[in-house]
Amino acid sequence: MEGLLPDLDVIRKDFPILERTLAGGVPLVYLDSANTSQKPQVVIDTMVDHLERHNANIARAMHQLGAESTEAYEGARDKVAAFLNAPSRNEVVFTKNATEALNLLARTIELGPGDNVVITEMEHHSNIVSWQLACERSGAELRWFGLTDEGELDLGNADQLVDENTKVLAFTWVSNMLGTINPVTDLVERARAFGALSVIDASQAAPQLPVDVQAVGCDFLVFTGHKVCGPTGIGVLWGREDLLNALPPFHGGGEMIETVTMARSTYAKVPHRFEAGTPPIVEAVGLGCAVDYLGHIGLDAIHAHEQAITAYALEGLQTVPGLRVMGPLDATRRGGAISFELDGVHPHDIAQVLDSRGVAVRAGHHCAKPAHARFGVQSSTRMSSYLYTTPAEIDALVEGLHHTRSYFKVG
């Protein structure tokens, strides 16, 4: 199959969990990577090594371990900056996850009555609720792009939605439900034309596409560590340095200050401005290792692999009677998450039967209830591949779906 990673067998050996078997001795077929990715041995080892040999608090311990730990943490920032092609390492702020990064922006960007914030109907709840809260607090208006029947952004009324009162245009690069890849540079340009800040949720894009913040030209971009082969508990907010330094602090505490008196404090510049308290140190170190690992394989090669697997999966899913894929059917226009409905069987029940065969998928609303409502469904089943996914695993999914239909005596 064209486009697959040439060393797929070798890559799979990097991920120890893929050798696991489940109840009944069936091998694991992990198709839930859009939920969280599996971790390569090198990330696990790097984190263990840090905890075994270098553990200390950072930037405040005047001893050798403190210096080593600080170097490892700040080294991770350099790796993430390189991963994003950021002009400056200072622009990389470590957060708990993408949700916290989005909430940081929604909390600190100044909004008021008369202003508006524009999002889209395909956002993850984290990029909806955080702006709903911001608009409720400030009196700003929340607007959103709708979706076409093909699961792409409906840009037909873009000229009415984004106007001179738009302060923020926030959107996902790749939909976690529909898989749609959005025209990010066009949206960024539209925001800039009206003086609005552009905020990109790259949680699903960063694992599978080359992300170059300078090429995209956005103002802010967020992603989470655990979907790019890193650990949980670590996310990234990238922003233009001048814009980040102009935002008021988010959390107050240690490490984010310049000086503190009982009457008032002054605040550090980014990145420390937004990293109050002891950060997730070993998680950052693990993330740095993970983005290095992806960079070593190459995001272009990973993207090609995802597209090949996605095309193969779309083809296989079409052989299942009564199955409807939501989102683009052209693999070149989408990411590796494919949500679908199967007539007569609820997603929970599909996931349960697949699980009994070792096939792990997600069932539910995938934190994208409005996007589901747009397609008239309450929930869906989602398979999501990654750099370690094989065509044989897609075959196992498709066979499992045929079996599910016969198990529930559908059709």
Partner 1 sequence: MSAELDSLYQEIILDHYKNPHHKGLRGDPSSAGTAEVHHVNPTCGDEVTLRVHLADGAEGRVVQDVSYDAVGCSISQASTSVMADLVIGKPVDEAMSIHQTFLELMQGKGQVEPDEDVLEDGIAFAGVAKFPARVKCALLSWMAWKDATAQAQSDSAQTGGVTHD
Nearer to partner 1 by C-beta: 77 or 366?
A: 366
Name which of residues 13 to 52 contact partner 1 (CB under 8 A): 23-24, 26
CB contact at 8 A, 37 and 226: yes
Catalytic residue ranges = 367
Look at residue 182 and give its three-state secondary structure: coil
**Cα 82 to the center of its chain, rounded Å:** 18
Name which of residues 370 to 399 contact partner 1 (CB under 8 A): 372, 378-379
Q: What are phi and psi of 267, to 5 degrees?
A: -115, 150
- Least Å distance between CB 357 and partner 1? 7
Query: Is residue 408 a contact point for partner 1 (CB under 8 A)?
Result: yes
In angstroms, rounded to a whole number, what is the distance separating the alpha carbons of residues 338 and 329? 9
Nearer to partner 1 by C-beta: 107 or 346?
A: 346
- Least Å distance between CB 133 and partner 1? 17
The two three-digit tokens of residue 327, written as one number:
């989102």
Taking contact as CB under 8 A, which single stretch among the options 11-19, 136-144, 300-308, 401-409 is the one that binds partner 1? 401-409
Nearest to 182 by CA among 314, 340, 84, 328: 328
CB contact at 8 A, 257 and 237: no
- Least Å distance between CB 24 and partner 1? 3
Nearer to partner 1 by C-beta: 279 or 347?
A: 347
List for the chain the helix, strand, coil content (%; round to 5): 45, 20, 40
- Least Å distance between CB 346 and partner 1? 4
Name which of residues 293 to 352 contact partner 1 (CB under 8 A): 346-349, 352
The two three-digit tokens of residue 132, written as one number:
């709903």
Nearer to partner 1 by C-beta: 194 or 407?
A: 407
- Least Å distance between CB 319 and partner 1? 23
Nearer to partner 1 by C-beta: 303 or 365?
A: 365
In angstroms, rounded to a whole number, what is the distance separating the alpha carbons of residues 174 and 177? 9
Nearer to partner 1 by C-beta: 300 or 343?
A: 343
In angstroms, rounded to a whole number, what is the distance separating the alpha carbons of residues 182 and 152? 7
| Residue whose token pair is 């064209």 | 2
CB contact at 8 A, 382 and 362: yes
In angstroms, rounded to a whole number, what is the distance separating the alpha carbons of residues 173 and 289? 24
Nearer to partner 1 by C-beta: 23 or 263?
A: 23
Angle at Cα 386 formed by Cα 382 and Cα 388, nearest 5°?
A: 130
- Least Å distance between CB 180 and partner 1? 21
- Least Å distance between CB 344 and partner 1? 9
The two three-digit tokens of residue 122, written as one number:
């395909």
Look at residue 198 and give its three-state secondary structure: strand
Query: Is residue 132 a contact point for partner 1 (CB under 8 A)?
Result: no
Paired sense of beta strands 257-260 and 235-239, if any: unpaired
Site string for partner 1, 345-374 (x = CB under 8 A): -xxxx--xx--xx-----xxx---x--x--
In angstroms, rounded to a whole number, what is the distance separating the alpha carbons of residues 276 and 250? 9
| Sign of the Cα pseudo-torsion (270, 272, 275, 281, in order) | positive
Query: Is residue 194 a contact point for partner 1 (CB under 8 A)?
Result: no
Total residues in contact with partner 1, by rule CB under 8 A: 21
Question: Which residues sit at the interface with partner 1, rule CB under 8 A?
Answer: 23-24, 26, 346-349, 352-353, 356-357, 363-365, 369, 372, 378-379, 407-409
